[in-house]
Structure 1
Amino acid sequence: MNKFKGFTDSETFTQLPDSFFHHLLKEIEDVGELKVTLYFLWRAGQMEGPFRALTRLDFDVKALGLSAEEITRGLEKAVKRGSLLKASLRSAVQEGRKEAKVYFFLNSPRGRAAVQALESGKWDPSHSPSAPPLERPNVFRLYEENIGPLTPLIADTLKDAEALYPAEWIAEAIERAVKNNKRNWKYCEAILKRWKEEGTHGEKTEQDAGKSAERYTKSEFEEYLKRD
């Protein structure tokens, strides 16, 4: 068992229906069913629009710690219990397509309306935005896990960085700092400034990466490269 490091003050929270705790939590005994139900509530909570649906492939194997077969069985049990609903596009069913995509919904007034609209052909989810991508680790957690404790001053600095640079840049800068064993924010910040000023983010070749590293060593990175 991997020991959990604990929750942080910077992470977001997911709302769960009260009925989950009042009714479902004590009834669900299968781990797979419990995991897919909680996962659906989390992913659906990040979606926008009146109808929120997930397909089987939206249930991430790695995030759930389940095999594809276990996820499928968990979904079948959740549908049988009535916590989730499933439906296929009416046109696909009428055409007898074996590969007709199945959509899952929360068994709520909005979910039931979505199923009715889907099965009546009034709504086609394939023309709607797909489920949001999996959440990337936020900057605060990345900092705590790779650089050091999150102080109020550092938290403010990271918030400023989020306003200036894309989240993926910050994540990559922290990754590079770890790789070079230079675990301090000023080093990461220098990388970000260089990328923004010179437009060198995303260099792919080893030659480009080597040139960048050389520039870093000879410029503002030198101070940080010399630190223990």
Structure 2
Amino acid sequence: MAQPGRMEPLPRNARRIPTPAAVLGEWLAEIDDLAELKVALRAVALLGGEPTRREVPPSVSLDDLLDDGVLSRVGRPGDDSGIRQALGACLARGTLAAAQVGGEIRVWLNDEPCRRHFEKAQLSPLEPGDVLGTSFAERPAIADGPGIPAGPARANIFALYERHIGTFGHGMAEQLRAAEEEYPASWIEEAFEIAVEQGARSWSYVNAILTAWQQQGKSATRQQREQRHDDGKPGHDSAPDRRTGYLESYRRRYGRLPWESDDTLDGTDG
């Protein structure tokens, strides 16, 4: 486990995203404001994880940026005006572009495909002031308050998800926030490690592990694993047995796994 303030080395199979050379050249040289730089780089990361469609460049919604865990420390806790102002600075500089699409604000990397898309779709680029909107306090509350509170523990679960699974949107952010409140940070980190070890990089699997620990007790679950055998050697469970144990515990508790349908359990095709 890394010391506070010190990050773990990137794993060998760390997820990578394509990044334009200008981002790590001109942008770093010209952008002096830290908040603007954070929002610009984070937007590039989120856009790099979005699926691309023919002739339609990837975009990310303003709401996803405002609810993003990595950007939660831009500005004051409970106030998204810092993210909005930084995004406005990006629009003014021209690194990012934004437009109103279907009742929501979408954000793009301001490159040639983006400009062609704006022209073809007849989109009107938004001005910096158009993304300021209302203050965070005026938005409807969600659970214990919108956004992701600052603090090492909360930042950790989102960083773990992104490192081992990928980017996430508003719905997943709520699930991660709820999990952080329900389980100890050490459990969450270990559950992610087990999921990676077993090649099961999904939140459903991580959550199944946490649920099993909560319902059966973490030590009891570990003892059950240690009673299994791997190649005839006591004290070690095989990867399939280990994974099956967690999933069976989850199924006993909730009746089915998150990705299973009723037809699957009945033995019929869905």
- The SS at the match of 1:200 is helix
1:58 pairs with 2:84:
no
What CA distance in whole angstroms lies between the structure 1 residues aligned with 2:246 and 2:187? Answer: 19
What CA distance in whole angstroms lies between the structure 1 residues aligned with 2:253 and 2:70? Answer: 27
1:5 pairs with 2:8:
yes
Displacement after TM superposition at 1:186 (Å) = 3.7
What CA distance in whole angstroms lies between the structure 1 residues aligned with 2:209 and 2:246? Answer: 13
Displacement after TM superposition at 1:38 (Å) = 1.0
1:180 pairs with 2:180:
no
Counterparts of residues 170-209 of structure 1 (less than 5 Å):
170-175=205-210, 176-177=212-213, 180-181=218-219, 182=222, 186=237, 190=241, 192-194=243-245, 200=251, 203=254
What CA distance in whole angstroms lies between the structure 2 residues aligned with 1:168 and 1:188? Answer: 18
Which sits farther off after the overlay, 170-179 or 2-11? 170-179
- The answer as to whether partners of 1:87 and 1:104 remain within 8 angstroms in 2 is yes
Paired AA for residue 206 in structure 2: A
- The answer as to whether partners of 2:108 and 2:114 remain within 8 angstroms in 1 is yes
Aligned residues: 172
Determine the structure 2 residue equivalent to 1:22: 25
- The SS at the match of 2:203 is helix
Determine the structure 2 residue equivalent to 1:104: 107
Determine the structure 2 residue equivalent to 1:82: 94
What CA distance in whole angstroms lies between the structure 2 residues aligned with 1:198 and 1:114? Answer: 49
1:167 pairs with 2:202:
yes
* TM-score (ref. length: structure 1): 0.59
Determine the structure 2 residue equivalent to 1:138: 164
- The answer as to whether partners of 2:15 and 2:164 remain within 8 angstroms in 1 is no
Displacement after TM superposition at 1:69 (Å) = 0.9
Task: Call closer, same or farther: CA 1:74–1:180 in 2, change over 3 Å.
Answer: same
Determine the structure 2 residue equivalent to 1:37: 40
Task: Call closer, same or farther: CA 1:74–1:120 in 2, change over 3 Å.
Answer: closer
Task: Call closer, same or farther: CA 1:29–1:198 in 2, change over 3 Å.
Answer: closer
- The answer as to whether partners of 1:173 and 1:191 remain within 8 angstroms in 2 is no
Displacement after TM superposition at 1:80 (Å) = 0.4
Identical aligned residues as a percent: 16
Task: Call closer, same or farther: CA 1:28–1:201 in 2, change over 3 Å.
Answer: farther
Displacement after TM superposition at 1:53 (Å) = 1.5
Which sits farther off after the overlay, 182-191 or 100-109? 182-191
What CA distance in whole angstroms lies between the structure 1 residues aligned with 2:8 and 2:30? Answer: 29
What CA distance in whole angstroms lies between the structure 2 residues aligned with 1:117 and 1:202? Answer: 52
- The answer as to whether partners of 1:173 and 1:192 remain within 8 angstroms in 2 is no
The Cα offsets for residues 103-150 of structure 1, whole Å up to 9 and x where unpaired, read as 2111111111222234359xxxxxxxxxxxx855527xx999417989
Paired AA for residue 164 in structure 2: N
Task: Call closer, same or farther: CA 1:158–1:87 in 2, change over 3 Å.
Answer: same
Task: Call closer, same or farther: CA 1:81–1:75 in 2, change over 3 Å.
Answer: same
Q: Let me know the Cα RMSD of the aligned residues.
A: 4.0
Determine the structure 2 residue equivalent to 1:126: none
Displacement after TM superposition at 1:180 (Å) = 1.0
- The answer as to whether partners of 1:78 and 1:84 remain within 8 angstroms in 2 is yes
Paired AA for residue 190 in structure 2: N
* TM-score (ref. length: structure 2): 0.51
Which sits farther off after the overlay, 59-68 or 36-45? 59-68
What CA distance in whole angstroms lies between the structure 1 residues aligned with 2:86 and 2:97? Answer: 13
- The SS at the match of 2:13 is coil
Determine the structure 2 residue equivalent to 1:115: 118
Structure 2 gaps, min length 5: 125-157, 166-185, 226-235, 256-270
Determine the structure 1 residue equivalent to 2:82: 70
